[in-house]
A and B are shown apart, each in its own frame.
Chain A
Amino acid sequence: NAGVTQTPKFRILKIGQSMTLQCTQDMNHNYMYWYRQDPGMGLKLIYYSVGAGITDKGEVPNGYNVSRSTTEDFPLRLELAAPSQTSVYFCASSAYRGPSEKLFFGSGTQLSVL
């Protein structure tokens, strides 16, 4: 079982470039999340999805977009990369969004914008 798979693992972008961070899960989870992690700042929620075709903003959505056309895939799009988007990005999924929700995380994408 692969769990949550993120690609690429590393990427360097120039300011103004665009890219898509890929996330796929094979656990048939309805709920998927994108977080960014900056040193000493914990995890910040960018976007989340409660099922195919349904997405919503998290705490820090500016500069990002998402789509959810299938249960398995939840790509994160950066349209005009800025240095402030240098971070480690984690995708996560869960089967249950209730009181005892367990998140399964991918291994992350380390993004540098120069």
Chain B
Amino acid sequence: QQQVKQSPQSLIVQKGGISIINCAYENTAFDYFPWYQQFPGKGPALLIAIRPDVSEKKEGRFTISFNKSAKQFSLHIMDSQPGDSATYFCAAKINAGNNRKLIWGLGTSLAVNP
């Protein structure tokens, strides 16, 4: 119930294509869903995040789609660029009193070919 399942494990996309990474969860107590981007040799950095009261959030070429009934959310990268090549982590947070936990997906390694 505390897991966040992320897929695919790795993804190769051509420049200009759309990259799609999916995450699924079981626990309905999750109420915040961030995506972090990690470049080699660096720590993760917050990319975009969504609350469950909205179905979509867009920031530039990055969009989160959220399906509350299916307990799924996904990251879409439009017009993917070689500079987007990185590992992407989805996460989900519980904010119940003292039980404030951020549960991480296992990550997706994205390679965008020029």
Contact = CB atoms under 8 A, between A and B. Distances in A.
Contacts of A99: 31-32, 51, 93, 95
A88 to B, nearest CB: 9
A100 B106 contact: no
B94 to A, nearest CB: 10
Nearest to B41: A107
B46 to A, nearest CB: 5
A43 B51 contact: no
Main secondary structure of the interface of B (DSSP, over half): strand
Interface residues of B, number: 22
A51 B99 CA distance: 17
B102 A101 contact: yes
Interface string B20-37: 000000000001101010
B51 to A, nearest CB: 7
B44 A41 contact: no
Contacts of A41: 106
A40 B95 CA distance: 26
B87 to A, nearest CB: 10
Interface of A: 4, 40-43, 45, 90, 92, 97-108
**5 closest Cβ contacts across the A-B interface?**
A105-B43, A42-B106, A42-B104, A43-B104, A99-B95
